[in-house]
Structure 1
Amino acid sequence: MDTQAKSTSKKRITIRSLLEIWLISTKLGLMSFGGPVAHLGYFHEEYIRRRKWMDEQSYADLVALCQFLPGPASSQVGIGIGVIRAGILGGIVSFLGFTIPSVIALIVFAIILQGDEISSAGWIHGLKIVAVSVVAYAILGMSQKLTPDLKRKAIALLALIVTLLWQTAYAQVGIILLSACIGYLIYRQEDEMDGAKIHIPFSRKVAITCLTLFFGLLIILPILREVTSLSWVAMFDSFYRSGSLVFGGGHVVLPLLEREFVSTGWLSHEEFLAGYGVAQAVPGPLFTFAAYVGAIMNGWLGGIVATIAIFLPAFLLVLGTLPFWDRLRSNLKMKGALMGVNAAVVGILISAFYQPIWTSSILKPIDFAFAAILFSMLVYWKLPPWLIVVTGIIGGTLISLF
């Protein structure tokens, strides 16, 4: 009887956790403007500061892990948080909640509003300024924790300079690897990182299966494409490869998608650029631009298939690496490497904060003044993020009138 009661209680807790993840991730999916760096800021505020689902160090380590993996880093962090909270189902629910709002918006735009120039609307500009305040707040909190000494400040400064001067995915991956080596050499004897042990609720066999599936699809899909000559297989293969081979986030995937679909004549250059403008105007991950491309090609069903194909590699990689995560980060030598990587992440975040977030948002003195107001509302007055977003929309609309 006791066993049955415990099972029922566990089931209720799981259902409640899944519902909680769904509501929070959907809220984030509706309000997370500003790109992957801004998304990490929103995640940090909602999951770490407010709800304390993970400790600061574990969140920083998860961000560092996802920076290493190809694919959309912010989406992978969201999936990882969901998995840690409520298992594989939690990861799926977290992903769906964060992604579905922008997928629906982009499919609707593809079918009804493609070509409309809404990206220049005042309220969109206001949301970009909101992203400035949110990212600044996230960087402030993470830098205090991850760069407490001069050595790590120097690593962050090096990462900032390198990623500002060489804005390529290779530069970002290279500086992360270099910082890991520096951290290993400097901090390999220190035992400073005390992040809580994270329970991953599935076995390493599942992880290995996911990694096998990831590489297997990468090899098999191009073969199926040639053998079958089916347009749906070709489309799935193009999106899957684009999602598998991208380091550096959503902006980096755009040239790959353009090469896969514009150069081959599946959609026009004008349609591609119009969709890119719309993608900038909606919240959530920029990888959902695939939903627009798929909808242009094959309607709403094409949008759904394209979304699954481009995000599937990210999901398989997160599930494939998380069970090995705790062992790696608890190893004394690996701790030093992660300390270096975490410091580099701060520098990379500051670099991305300037370009493209600051340069595309703060265009006039009034923009900076409004960003300062939003930052004060968030940091000093401790107002909820949704109120900051609403204020940003209203303020951006009013600014556009002047």
Structure 2
Amino acid sequence: MAEEKKAYDEWMQLYTCDDHHWKVPARYMDRSRVGGQEKKLGKFDRLYPGCVDDLFEGLPTYYCVLCVSKNDSQGAIEKAYERKKKCSVYPEEVLERAYEMLSHNEKRLAYDEMIRVFMKVLLAFTASEKREIIEDHADWLEREKKSVTMEYILENRGAWLYLFNYGAPTFYELLGVDKAEIEIGEVVECKNKNRDIRLAEEICKIINNPQLRFEYDFMLGELNEIVDDELERFRRRMGIWKGRDAAFLMVLKYHDYLNRYGKTMDEHLDWQEYTGNKTFCSVLNIDAGSIPADKREAESFIRNAYRDKERTEEVNLAYSVLKNSRLREDYDWLLKHGKWLSKMHELDIEEAGEAQINAVMEMADVAIRDV
């Protein structure tokens, strides 16, 4: 569990945080006594359009929006902004304002003062007005947390999402257990005697890992609304899983491999004819095992092999792939797993028989074990 929990926590720390700079004052002050502060806030509104409105709408402060501190450098703020553009419920214009205000020292100081003045103005709010803005603020934070959690699952638990979207039974249904009756800390076992033992073991590993179970239950909770909206489509797909434990197991164990294989082949169609007897290494007459582990030494080694070759299109392609450490890593991975993945990739999940699926999974297990 520790490894999964650590990975999840690190992800959440990048994208979510508490709003330490936002606190609605509990005491009340007559509006006549905060008139000067309201004028200051009006001036800020004219100078920095949208920023004051964001505060009144209960949005977290921009420090919280981007998950940065007051002491972070401009470079750190820029990286945070780029991250949040890819994963956030906050509107694009809010993210842009946050970046604009916090990435310039003068504007950042102005924003800090804006927050201070805003909190003064809130003194004149009634209890119900304060409660409303507190609830709006909490709602933004909760929505962001849910969005980021779901994005983490999308990134790291693709097999679960694939199975769900394909109308597959839930893990609990496959095990024959009632989720609501599972006690805290209880070790879940498969009660379905007809279930493939390999599949039962894989699912029990997930359900009995508290972090993975949290993620799976969260996913079910978020996606169950989709079932209500598209019930007919799900009903049509549910039938393909009856008696198809091997197909379910294949998706559960190898989805990430298949996903990477598909992306790699789509991005590098010109690699296909170099994954068999002829490889990029053989084109340059080098032994793959002799390529140094050190990046610079590897580049020098490959450059020397390339130097004396005729500059054909094939030789140039081989050199361009092998000299680039990232491309070489993808290519090496493809050489190690391409044979079984190509066979698995060709399988029709709805039509393939159990024996056919099991044969490919045996190939996969051997290849993965030997790597």
Q: Which TM bucket (shorter chain)?
A: under 0.3
Larger relative CO (CA 8 A, sep 6+): 1 or 2? 1
What's the TM-score once normalised by structure 2's chain length?
0.25
Bigger helix fraction: 1
TM-score normalised according to structure 1 size:
0.23
